[in-house]
Amino acid sequence: LVVAMFFSPCLEIEAYFLLAGAHGKWLVWFIALMYFAITTAGMVLLVRFAYKGLLKVNWHSLEHNAGVITGITLVATGIITYFIH
């Protein structure tokens, strides 16, 4: 739970756990289970939507231009690196 809260982008959840701690362990466990269920469901749904979106992309045209895309990426990275350093 501590690791999940540390890596979570939602820092406000800690206040709920502190408030629940004053009411008993059962409320802390209930909030932890809700937090786990909502976070897991959200991640699964976002991955599902991303996967469905990726299936709609025309990958065949990207396969034919893979060398050009790689070359442009390498040149752009070199130019950006030159100006950053």
Per residue in 24-35, pLDDT (tens digit) is 888 888 888 888
User: For residue 33, what pLDDT is reported?
Assistant: 87
Residue % of the chain over a pLDDT of 70: 87
User: For residue 52, what pLDDT is reported?
Assistant: 96
Ordered by start, the domain boundaries in the chain are 2-84
pTM value?
Answer: 0.56
Per residue in 46-65, pLDDT (tens digit) is 999 999 999 998 888 888 88
Query: What DSSP string runs through 5-59?
Result: HHH-S-TTHHHHHHHHHTT-HHHHHHHHHHHHHHHHHHHHHHHHHHHHHHHTS-H
